[in-house]
Chains A and B, each alone.
Chain A
């Protein structure tokens, strides 16, 4: 039987505050527990001290992830020289203390308490979903209580019990059975302390105390965000996963890594045969420390959804029905087409796309396939459309294309500047940690056109919300830096020691120019100069100032400039190179960091080394046994242009839905239509597959071994817990594709691919599966200089040697509001849905969000006669689509906002082909639009619907023929 496999220390570890450290108040305290000497940090509870000796004092309301609460009264102990029986969870150790945890009197009291619990609890353990891992059951066993002399109402002697209360089954993933609740408040506290949503409470008092969601609403209608922390915290089956109730107990578990956002939570997949029973966050997980969100914990059902395509398919034309074939036939067909096309149109007429959702190993293989087997550098990845400016901007200023900190660094930040990111929706588990720090008193500055939840949420309020106009990031960051420099708030000694002096002087001259002052920029950004000045002072004067940012920074025509502007500000204020500070991109997808690290860009090998570097190229050429091209290949937008020009004809797309996620959809569709062989490897028949000639069934993260690298450069294992539904893991298909093309690849296991990555990549030389297994995870760089990895970068000196300031002139985007398109559309995401929604739309997460809506300010809605829920047309110079309106003051006048999780929403029909000057990252965040009330879907949407029906029927016929 699989059961809780750790000793729960009952109370959290003591984290010494800076004040403690300053006072030297961190020396251990020595005490005696049951005659055994033990020494623990000051402030540790007796319970935790005992746990270090392997002595688990009986407890129910205490658990290691939550602050001591002291309500169950089971953990009472005796302390020499003290009256009474203090609770060991809430009593901290003192020097020389002598504690007894087991005496006759304590046994008697504990039995008394358990007997009370049992008197109000059904004793149907055999049929209970928690049987075998119920803490009440365990404790009854420990103290030796099997029944209650008070009687139990279920036996009909008039004892008052909670019985027959309605179960709350409203949440799709978990059930609440009040009859099984022991009112320990662990769920309430988990919602407060772990998740930070404060959705749960105890209602009523005394015997009538019950857990309630919001104002006694159902869970699904309440403020609950379904993170599952309450379910995790529940010691009984009162809060249980429905899957556990329906499927029964798991028999084994494997530690793996979530395949959703860039937080990269470590999860335990609890299995019964080939079936996932539930996902439980790993308490030892470096990124998540035992927490997860509604996606990672619950929304894994897509992996076995009926829409999964599990057989390879081919067709000559995209108007033909699909034909299911064997893997051999599909691969041979694809290989022959690629060879034919290269023979006819030239070696550069084909390319490949790596996936930020696939493993490092798979990504590495696809770029190797392109470079070594296709013989060109036409490889790109979806990071192109999200964080490519991060890579470019941070590489040039600091020397490495990655975030500088680990997540837990935020717990030492005193001022947090959050720019263009919405962590409570996009990176919820990190958001919970950030909220914890903010509740401890860290200050918050938010730069966002929209009032994101963190601006004001329970027990948190941003000191400044600089609500800028979309597209004016650089103007704002420059005016913040202007204040820092002109008011003498720079850390001059830091700059002198660590940065290039010429670049500093040049930037200093630039940034102090009056045109960069907040007063001068106010007309552009729309942010009051006084707020900018105050916010700048707050950040610059912080002991530790940390910047976190998201796609609101990168997805602009000046995305790279903004990343550099952020790096400039952090360098000028000395906020790099230690814990609590840094420049931290919040990565969108699970392995977007990894896919970039692995050499997915056309100009770089793994480890961000340019293909034109002869020495680097030579190491790859010798390892791979082929000559490699010294010139960068095509980027995604160039591929589309080349396709429309007729020079680019075939594309291997692994795990990315370009037809939905890339901007200017109609342009993308035209480009795909012009290709002769599109190979799509995916779990589902996605939007891009409508233009595909070959379909390789993809494998989910549950179906393969490998690694993901999260936003903090943390490499974590993905472990296979079930066989691939399509027969092959993605990396296996790539290997066979390479072999069929005549470039042999020999790997029996992804660990061998990692060994090759380590051998060829200086920042990965110390990485191996063996070491990851031993350490749990590794943050690169991991090499001889840092054998166990590097949680904090740029300590002592920057990776590039001296940090380099870049002049960041504000250049307005060409995309600006006009009389024809007077509003600015910006985009974002929502908690329950993920990216293009291919996964989450195929889970019960649609309960919370089943359509994308257009947020519009009441003023803008009013003048257009738009009411909440109306259908509205959104037109830009690129195209038009129709959504329902949501009238809200979260958004400022003049700006509209939508999410892009549903293909039929056509958000990217509207977005334009404007892009970042350095990296071509699309300007998703600014599109000039007009919004009008309409009565029917747009023409594009009507065509899309017809095409979807047609493609479904082409696929449906295939299935029918086989049946």
Chain B
């Protein structure tokens, strides 16, 4: 009887040697005449343990990690195929504390199943949501999503059901479902992990969206920097078509939904939804003026759903288990769970899916274990490169949309980047401007010229040239960008700058640099 060995094909695991580990285990098994079945799963999101190798036994899956190819012979000698003891042995995977305490809804199968196996997906409860949806009227589906309280996980937190209703309410015509998988925020990786670990969930979510609003074509707009996700998605889509869950008469119904992946060309701005639509149409990724809303005139001028990967991946469970089930997670107006991505200078970086309401402190210390450097945490940046810097003093803020906005921050896509006390916040403010300058599409003036001027001003501030006057000008520039920019890139760049100035003024007034 062969033993199932799980070795992730997730990009993070691959980055730390998972491919070599897989090859080493395969060849060692062959040399020993041992029958193993290697499954390339997604990542469990416990990055400090990657490559995390799991062995399936009757009592469950046992974990070893972080495994390197060099340690593979030792593992065999320790009898790891039978969960033998070894310094890298972590016990049953499900019992690892950082995993056990999570509330995984959208990531329930990530790291568990073979991402491109439809049967594995279905065996783990997949397609229950779509099956249910096919018995409902479009407006019932939309009502369920609305009722669940799901809000856009891309960052804008707009109620997903309301967006869908707008598309549904447009007269029958060609409509589209587009998935924004241009996950460009630094320190975020939830979309990638989901697409690499459980792409069928996204496919199911998009199919439900199509069924709900009468759209027959979907596009996943994937950033070019995710080659592994591209491979997994394409394999998964092919398998899904073959199994009859995409295309005409899907799941034996009279409905049709087709899906394909389109790859971006390396521009952060194409994660902004109107730029993404321009890019999908084959144009330069410039931001479009709103109105009209994409829900009314979106892709090729047709009514279009634009949702983030996690938003769409949250839908099947809502349809499967009901809006009430989903809604019971969370706090206030932030319902359901959120995959938080912890990165930066942190001991236990990774993905932690929890209901809204966890505090930053719990995340950074309980899950993250503090800084990797061992020095005190000075600040976290929440919500990507355009998110505010939050000082340690505010770490008791619960992670929900309203609470964070109450302290001038935004949850964004759920990325949290940790900094220790050696961080130079003036440099970080400069970096925000530099990021904007590099990624601006160049359409509107405040962003196009302002971001470059912002970098120059920060250089002058740091070099102590006319410092007070230039700091004043930074404040004014932030006002111009905040209120004058066409989209969120220029409009949010002031957040990290202003928060750094507010909470860490001393960093801007050092005598020597």
- Would you call A84 and B483 a contact (CB within 8 A)? yes
Collect the chain B residues with CB atoms within 8 Å of residue A201's CB.
Answer: 284
Collect the chain B residues with CB atoms within 8 Å of residue A113's CB.
Answer: 445-446, 480, 484
Q: How far is the CB of A108 from chain B (nearest CB, A)?
A: 7
Bound Cα distance from A116 to B486, whole angstroms: 15
Bound Cα distance from A160 to B441, whole angstroms: 18
Bound Cα distance from A160 to B453, whole angstroms: 8
Using a CB–CB cutoff of 8 Å, the interface residues on chain A facing chain B are: 68-74, 76, 84-85, 87, 90, 92, 105, 108-109, 112-113, 116-117, 119-120, 149-151, 158-160, 183, 185, 201-202, 204-209
Q: How far is the CB of B270 from chain A (nearest CB, A)?
A: 11
- Would you call A160 and B445 a contact (CB within 8 A)? no
Q: Given contacts A73-B445, A87-B289, A112-B480, list 16 more A-B pairs with CB under 8 A.
A: A73-B446, A73-B485, A74-B445, A84-B483, A109-B484, A112-B484, A116-B450, A119-B453, A150-B457, A150-B473, A158-B456, A159-B456, A160-B452, A206-B440, A207-B448, A207-B452
Q: How far is the CB of A194 from chain B (nearest CB, A)?
A: 19
Q: Which B226-273 residues have C-beta < 8 A from chain A?
A: 267, 269
- Would you call A208 and B449 a contact (CB within 8 A)? no
With contact pairs A109-B479, A116-B480, A205-B269 given, residues A149 and B473 touching in the complex (Cβ less than 8 Å)? yes
Q: Which B399-454 residues have C-beta < 8 A from chain A?
A: 437-453
- Would you call B480 and A109 a contact (CB within 8 A)? yes
- Would you call A206 and B448 a contact (CB within 8 A)? yes
* Residue among B442, B477, B479, B480 with most chain A CB within 10 A: B442
B476: interface (CB < 8 Å): yes
Q: Which residue of B lies closest to A117 (CB)?
A: B445
- Would you call B451 and A206 a contact (CB within 8 A)? yes
Bound Cα distance from A92 to B291, whole angstroms: 9
- Would you call A108 and B269 a contact (CB within 8 A)? no
Collect the chain A residues with CB atoms within 8 Å of residue B452's CB.
Answer: 160, 206-207
* Residue among B267, B444, B445, B476 with most chain A CB within 10 A: B445
- Would you call A112 and B289 a contact (CB within 8 A)? no
> Would you give 21 A-B contacts (Cβ < 8 Å), ordered by A?
A70-B444, A73-B444, A73-B486, A76-B483, A85-B483, A87-B289, A90-B289, A108-B476, A109-B480, A113-B484, A116-B450, A149-B473, A183-B448, A205-B439, A205-B442, A206-B438, A206-B439, A207-B449, A207-B452, A208-B442, A209-B443
Contact of A112 among B267, B437, B443, B476 (CB under 8 A): B476
- Would you call B289 and A69 a contact (CB within 8 A)? yes
Interface of A is mostly: loop
Q: Which residue of B lies closest to A89 (CB)?
A: B289
Collect the chain B residues with CB atoms within 8 Å of residue A149's CB.
Answer: 469, 473
Collect the chain B residues with CB atoms within 8 Å of residue A74's CB.
Answer: 445
Bound Cα distance from A202 to B443, whole angstroms: 9
Q: How far is the CB of B218 from chain A (nearest CB, A)?
A: 25
Collect the chain A residues with CB atoms within 8 Å of residue B437's CB.
Answer: 206-207
Contact of A160 among B446, B456, B477, B484 (CB under 8 A): B456
Bound Cα distance from A74 to B486, whole angstroms: 11
Bound Cα distance from A112 to B447, whole angstroms: 12
* Residue among A73, A84, A108, A202 with most chain B CB within 10 A: A73
Contact of B453 among A71, A109, A116 (CB under 8 A): A116
Bound Cα distance from A90 to B274, whole angstroms: 15
Q: Which residue of B lies closest to A84 (CB)?
A: B483
Q: How far is the CB of A804 from chain B (nearest CB, A)?
A: 44
- Would you call A108 and B479 a contact (CB within 8 A)? yes
- Would you call B479 and A112 a contact (CB within 8 A)? yes
- Would you call B440 and A68 a contact (CB within 8 A)? no
With contact pairs A69-B289, A85-B483 given, residues A116 and B439 touching in the complex (Cβ less than 8 Å)? no
Interface of B is mostly: helix
Collect the chain B residues with CB atoms within 8 Å of residue A150's CB.
Answer: 453, 456-457, 473
Collect the chain B residues with CB atoms within 8 Å of residue A202's CB.
Answer: 284, 286, 442
| Interface pairs A-B: 9 shortest CB-CB | A209-B442, A112-B480, A206-B440, A70-B289, A116-B449, A73-B484, A90-B289, A207-B452, A205-B442
* Residue among A72, A113, A205, A209 with most chain B CB within 10 A: A205
Collect the chain A residues with CB atoms within 8 Å of residue B449's CB.
Answer: 116-117, 119-120, 207
With contact pairs A119-B453, A159-B456 given, residues A207 and B440 touching in the complex (Cβ less than 8 Å)? yes
Q: Which B22-81 residues have C-beta < 8 A from chain A?
A: none
With contact pairs A76-B484, A85-B484 given, residues A116 and B446 touching in the complex (Cβ less than 8 Å)? yes
With contact pairs A85-B484, A116-B446 given, residues A206 and B479 touching in the complex (Cβ less than 8 Å)? no
With contact pairs A116-B449, A150-B453 given, residues A71 and B480 touching in the complex (Cβ less than 8 Å)? no
Bound Cα distance from A183 to B479, whole angstroms: 22
Bound Cα distance from A926 to B513, whole angstroms: 83
Q: Which residue of A lies closest to B469 (CB)?
A: A149
Collect the chain B residues with CB atoms within 8 Å of residue A71's CB.
Answer: 443-445, 486
- Would you call B445 and A72 a contact (CB within 8 A)? yes
Collect the chain A residues with CB atoms within 8 Å of residue B439's CB.
Answer: 205-206
Bound Cα distance from A202 to B286, whole angstroms: 10
Collect the chain B residues with CB atoms within 8 Å of residue A70's CB.
Answer: 289, 444, 486
- Would you call B483 and A207 a contact (CB within 8 A)? no
Bound Cα distance from A741 to B418, whole angstroms: 102
Bound Cα distance from A204 to B438, whole angstroms: 11
- Would you call B486 and A205 a contact (CB within 8 A)? no
- Would you call B445 and A205 a contact (CB within 8 A)? no
Contact of B267 among A85, A87, A90, A205 (CB under 8 A): A205
Bound Cα distance from A69 to B267, whole angstroms: 21
Q: How far is the CB of A136 from chain B (nearest CB, A)?
A: 11
Q: How far is the CB of A384 from chain B (nearest CB, A)?
A: 49
Collect the chain B residues with CB atoms within 8 Å of residue A120's CB.
Answer: 449
Bound Cα distance from A282 to B445, whole angstroms: 30
- Would you call B451 and A207 a contact (CB within 8 A)? yes
Contact of B446 among A69, A90, A92, A112 (CB under 8 A): A112
Bound Cα distance from A663 to B496, whole angstroms: 77
Q: How far is the CB of A676 from chain B (nearest CB, A)?
A: 68
Bound Cα distance from A202 to B269, whole angstroms: 15
Q: How far is the CB of A785 from chain B (nearest CB, A)?
A: 44
Collect the chain A residues with CB atoms within 8 Å of residue B444's CB.
Answer: 70-73
Q: Which B287-317 residues have C-beta < 8 A from chain A?
A: 289, 291
Bound Cα distance from A499 to B286, whole angstroms: 55
- Would you call B442 and A109 a contact (CB within 8 A)? no
Bound Cα distance from A923 to B450, whole angstroms: 64
Q: Which B472-496 residues have C-beta < 8 A from chain A?
A: 473, 476-477, 479-480, 483-486
* Residue among A68, A90, A201 with most chain B CB within 10 A: A90
Q: Which residue of B lies closest to A68 (CB)?
A: B289
Q: Which residue of B lies closest to A106 (CB)?
A: B483
Bound Cα distance from A635 to B480, whole angstroms: 73
Q: How far is the CB of A162 from chain B (nearest CB, A)?
A: 10
Collect the chain B residues with CB atoms within 8 Å of residue A208's CB.
Answer: 442
Q: Which residue of A lies closest to B288 (CB)?
A: A70
Collect the chain A residues with CB atoms within 8 Å of residue B443's CB.
Answer: 71, 185, 209
Q: Which residue of A lies closest to B490 (CB)?
A: A73
- Would you call B448 and A209 a contact (CB within 8 A)? yes
Q: Which residue of A lies closest to B457 (CB)?
A: A150
- Would you call A116 and B442 a contact (CB within 8 A)? no
Bound Cα distance from A185 to B450, whole angstroms: 18
Bound Cα distance from A897 to B393, whole angstroms: 81
Q: How far is the CB of B470 from chain A (nearest CB, A)?
A: 9
Bound Cα distance from A627 to B120, whole angstroms: 104
Bound Cα distance from A87 to B445, whole angstroms: 13
Bound Cα distance from A150 to B441, whole angstroms: 22
Bound Cα distance from A76 to B453, whole angstroms: 21
Contact of B442 among A72, A105, A158, A183 (CB under 8 A): A183
Collect the chain B residues with CB atoms within 8 Å of residue A72's CB.
Answer: 444-445
Q: Which residue of B lies closest to A121 (CB)?
A: B449
Collect the chain A residues with CB atoms within 8 Å of residue B483's CB.
Answer: 76, 84-85, 105, 109
Collect the chain B residues with CB atoms within 8 Å of residue A117's CB.
Answer: 445, 449
Q: How far is the CB of A132 from chain B (nearest CB, A)?
A: 23
Q: Which residue of B lies closest to A149 (CB)?
A: B473
* Residue among A105, A108, A209 with most chain B CB within 10 A: A209
Bound Cα distance from A87 to B480, whole angstroms: 13
Q: How far is the CB of B249 from chain A (nearest CB, A)?
A: 31
